[in-house]
Amino acid sequence: MMSVSEALRKRISTRAFLPTPVPETLVREILDVARRAPSGGNVQPWKVMAVAGEDRQNVIDIAAQVTQTNPAGEVGERFIYPDNLWEPHRSWRYKLGEDMYALLGIPKENKLGRLAHLARNAEFFGAPVGLFFIIDERMGFGQWAHLGMFMQSIALAALERGVASCMQEFWARYRTSLKAHFQLPETEMIYCAMALGYADESAAVNTLYADRAEVDEFATFRGF
């Protein structure tokens, strides 16, 4: 059985999937484990919309329609990154992009090539299952953080079962249309999506093991 540490080290954002279906029972099992994620006051500020088959195709079609009229997507009130991201975060973000496109063999000059890869987000990178994470707009930033813990729990529970994932805030571009499509109540919104499926091990992009800052770069120890 996979240890927690092993799962943490092994989880990566998979960006090329095989079409092999993930059965509903397995997705349910993953969610059943992940629902043990903590949340302040145990408010469990999340809902999940899981799509496969025709329902997956429907959201892919919606994304394509929005992109046709509005290539940048629907701009919402909640930003994905703050403007003018500062150091060291700015460099980390830049490095991730450069490392990923280097593996894909798409140089900076090939803007269309890079955009085409970015657009694969809107097809869940080929994953047969998409999860959408829904939060009530009245929730504060604390609850958004707790939703993140839930998402990581899902990714780890999935990995343990051989199921790869990619969290996808890219889908924030289609929040308005997806809200209408899923007929969400007025106060609810989609925060993020997650692609779930079996990794295409032959895809170079899946060999990306994104760097991390060393512990001493982000942690301060006092009084030990």
Residues in contact with ligand FMN by the rule CB under 6 A? 12-13, 15, 96, 121, 166-170, 192, 210
Closer to ligand FMN by CB, 23 or 88: give it: 88
Closest CB to ligand FMN among 23 and 89? 89
Name the minimum Å distance from CB 222 to ligand FMN: 28
Q: In the beta sheet, which residues pair with residue 49? A: 132
Give 22 or 193: the residue with its C-beta nearer to ligand FMN: 193
CA 158 to chain centre: 13
Closest distance between ligand FMN and the C-beta of residue 189, in Å? 14
Q: Please say which residue, 22 or 154, places its beta carbon nearer to ligand FMN.
A: 154
What amino acid occupies position 148? G
Amino acid at 41: G
Q: Which is nearer to ligand FMN, 24 or 211 (CB)?
A: 211
Per-residue burial over 81-97, b if 16 or more Cβ lie within 10 Å, else e, is eeeeeeeeeeeeeeeee
Radius of gyration (C-alpha) of the chain in whole angstroms? 18
Q: How far apart are CA 63 and CA 123, in angstroms?
A: 9
- C-beta of 192: minimal distance to ligand FMN in Å? 5
Residue with the two structure tokens 């692609």: 195
CB of 153 closer than 8 Å to CB of 33: yes
**DSSP class of 171:** G
Amino acid identity for residue 185 in this structure: P
CA distance 147 to 167: 12
Nearer to ligand FMN, 35 or 92 (CB): 92
CB of 47 to ligand FMN, least distance (A): 16
* CA–CA gap between residue 209 and residue 35 (Å, rounded): 27
Q: How near is the Cβ of 103 to ligand FMN at its closest, in Å?
A: 12
Tell me the one-letter amino acid at 59.
Answer: V
What is the nearest approach in angstroms of ligand FMN to the Cβ of residue 25? 26
Query: Rounded to an integer, what distance in angstroms lies between the CA atom of residue 48 and that of residue 31?
Result: 9
- C-beta closer to ligand FMN: residue 170 or 182: 170
Q: Minimum Å distance from CB 173 to ligand FMN?
A: 9
